């Protein structure tokens, strides 16, 4: 990793490559959001309202975005559940942004917990921010998603939420060795995700 602006060109064993691909898929933002949303909804509303807020947030933040990713991954010729080319990411991101917007409106109308609304709005704000960036530079959505999750969990549970960052170094290693991102692109996603999500939670939650 001598040049932070260059992709990795190191050859890997099939086993390491398989592990990197599987782990990378498991920490995609919509998939990573599943346990995060279940936990923050449970902490905020463990009563009758939990089922509603959890179901709505999971639908709009995970199920529908995952469907978008899988559809456009296949459409752009990728079989690994990823949308590799930067320019192929613009339209799927716009679709995801509309989904997050709809989810935010529904959660507010349903009087969902503030942390749940903040999580959905964070997804919306982060997606809106990366669209113009992605037109010119392939910023890491994985890095952004992990930071979004870490901020949400830390806001809800305190310092113990920082344990979620344990997946960060492994995820970034996976993205790098798979040749998906440069270190600078991962750093950009990290900073943007942390700053934007922190700002949203401060204002909304």
pLDDT at position 138 is 93
Asked if residues 30 and 65 have their Cβ atoms less than 8 Å apart, the reply is yes
Asked if residues 164 and 149 have their Cβ atoms less than 8 Å apart, the reply is yes
Residues of the chain with pLDDT under 50: 1
pLDDT at position 59 is 97
Q: Tens digits of per-residue pLDDT, 156-185? A: 999 999 999 999 999 999 999 999 999 999
Distance CA 185, CA 176 (A): 10
Domain parsing of the chain, residue ranges: 14-204
* pTM check: above 0.95: no
pLDDT at position 48 is 61
pLDDT at position 190 is 98
Distance CA 90, CA 74 (A): 15
pLDDT at position 46 is 62
pLDDT at position 1 is 47
Distance CA 204, CA 192 (A): 18
Distance CA 74, CA 8 (A): 24
């Amino acid at each position: 990793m001598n040049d932070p602006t260059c992709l990795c060109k190191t050859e890997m064993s099939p086993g390491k490559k398989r592990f990197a691909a599987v782990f990378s898929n498991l920490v995609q933002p919509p998939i990573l959001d599943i346990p995060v949303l279940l936990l923050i909804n449970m902490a905020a509303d463990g009563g009758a309202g939990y089922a509603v807020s959890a179901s709505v947030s999971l639908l709009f933040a995970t199920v529908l975005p995952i469907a978008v990713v899988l559809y456009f991954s296949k459409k752009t010729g990728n079989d690994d559940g990823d949308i590799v080319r930067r320019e192929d990411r613009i339209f799927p991101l716009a679709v995801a942004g509309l989904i997050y917007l709809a989810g935010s409106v529904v959660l507010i109308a349903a009087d969902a917990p503030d942390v749940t609304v903040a999580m959905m709005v964070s997804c919306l704000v982060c997606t809106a921010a990366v669209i113009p960036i992605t037109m010119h530079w392939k910023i890491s959505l994985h890095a952004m998603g992990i930071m979004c999750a870490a901020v949400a969990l830390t806001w809800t549970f305190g310092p113990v939420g920082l344990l979620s960052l344990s997946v960060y170094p492994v995820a970034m290693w996976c993205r790098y060795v798979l040749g998906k991102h440069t270190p600078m692109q991962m750093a950009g996603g990290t900073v943007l995700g942390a700053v934007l999500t922190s700002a949203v939670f401060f204002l909304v939650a």
